[in-house]
Amino acid sequence: MSMSRFLLRRIAYSIFVLLGLSIVIFIIARIMPGDPARMAVGARAPQWVVDRIRASMHLDQPLPVQYYYWLGGALQGDFGLSLVTQRPVTSDIKEFLPASLELVFLAAVISSITGIGLGILSARYKDTWIDNAVRVFSYTGIVTPSFVFAILFVLLFGFTLNWFPIIGRLSENITAPPVRTGLVTIDALLAWQPQVFVNAIWHMVLPAVSLAMGSIAQAARITRSSMADNLSKDYIAAARALGIPERIVSGRLLLKPSLIPTISILGLDIAATISIAFLVELIFNWPGLGRYGMTAMLHKDLNAISAVILIFGAIFILTNIIVDLVVAYLDPRIRLRSARSD
């Protein structure tokens, strides 16, 4: 199967998954306890005001009719008004999503480089103190929630050592660059403001590392296990016996197949990070989409809840497609198995 056909199949499956996800999200948001119209205007508002808001949100219609109006607006990028911010949900997403993407991207870079590097180091020095240290770190990182690391980093590197800032995206004495993409680092580069770029990166270090710790531990453990297993394979011994240079044996014959399970798990971890980052965003006062979504859930802001969860689902699916493409590139047999299944 060609790579283009492989990609088209994944996109087709993703459309059906998103449609099913939208139905589940819509139903759950509507059956949650509480009247969103009453919560929006307060307990003392007259009933006619509540009824007017219910009618504007089509809450007085049957569920299929409500879903029809909601899906029609969502397909046009219109998720309605937020009951909390009193702004279009699309405007809120444009404001908060870039901050989360920026943070998660840096966390992904840190987790990929550090996790795979530690896994290679652990496999290279198997059964030594280095291997044991990496394994202890891996188990600790896997079982410890990211918000615990966030609190520890704030106390140690923020308050005690005062090495990193712990609040917001920029320092108070730094003027934000003109908004073009919403990503402060990219906007700073586009405006050629290197000082702002460095300051933004400095603010992202602690929350990004907090989010990356679990993925680092997972990637290190899986890379170590996969490389240690492949080291005992006959084709590695045969390659060395034939005199193939060690850099080719280690890089192409050993590392490449060993990265397949790591990339698969790491990609899913990174995709899930953006949806579980709200506690880290709260700790660092980071204006991200996870924090916005949690506020929407507390106030039963139906439009915002549906939009946020749908975006999280789309990001997860997109990341999964990218991971599938990378894995298929590393191991063409996956594409061949898909072709046979057709």
**Least confident piece of the model among 68-82, 161-175, 238-252:** 238-252
Residue 144: the pLDDT is 84
pTM across the whole model:
0.79
Identify the residue with better confidence: 334 or 31. 31
The 3-state secondary structure of the chain reads CCHHHHHHHHHHHHHHHHHHHHHHHHHHHHHCCCCHHHHHHCCCCCHHHHHHHHHHCCCCCCHHHHHHHHHHHHHCCCCCECCCCCCEHHHHHHHHHHHHHHHHHHHHHHHHHHHHHHHHHHHHCCCCHHHHHHHHHHHHHHHCCHHHHHHHHHHHHHHHCCCCCCCCCCCCCCCCCCCCCCCHHHHHHHCCCHHHHHHHHHHHHHHHHHHHHHHHHHHHHHHHHHHHHHHCCHHHHHHHHCCCCHHHHHHHHHHHHHHHHHHHHHHHHHHHHCCCCHHHHHHCCCCCHHHHHHHHHHCCCHHHHHHHHHHHHHHHHHHHHHHHHHHHHHCCHHHHHHHHHC
Domain spans of the chain, in order of start: 89-324
Provide mean pLDDT across the span 295-306: 81
Per-residue pLDDT band for 336 (boundaries 50, 70, 90) equals: very low
Residues 6+ apart with CB under 8 A from 230: 236, 254, 257, 258
Residue type, 286: W
Identify the residue with better confidence: 31 or 74. 74
Identify the residue with better confidence: 1 or 269. 269
Provide mean pLDDT across the span 176-201: 88
Per-residue pLDDT band for 339 (boundaries 50, 70, 90) equals: very low
Percent of the chain with pLDDT over 90: 3
The overall average pLDDT reported for the chain is 80
Q: Is the pLDDT of residue 331 over 70?
A: no
Q: Is the pLDDT of residue 40 over 70?
A: no
**Least confident piece of the model among 24-33, 93-102, 284-293:** 24-33
> pLDDT tens across 25-36, in order?
777 777 766 666
| CA triple 64-66-68, angle to 5 deg | 70
Provide mean pLDDT across the span 126-152: 86
CATH number for the domain running over 89-324: 1.10.3720.10
Provide mean pLDDT across the span 276-305: 83
> pLDDT tens across 253-269, in order?
677 777 777 887 877 78
Residue 2: the pLDDT is 60
Q: Is the pLDDT of residue 92 over 50?
A: yes
Q: Is the pLDDT of residue 164 over 50?
A: yes
**Least confident piece of the model among 148-157, 159-168, 256-265:** 256-265
**Least confident piece of the model among 40-54, 118-132, 215-229, 265-279:** 40-54
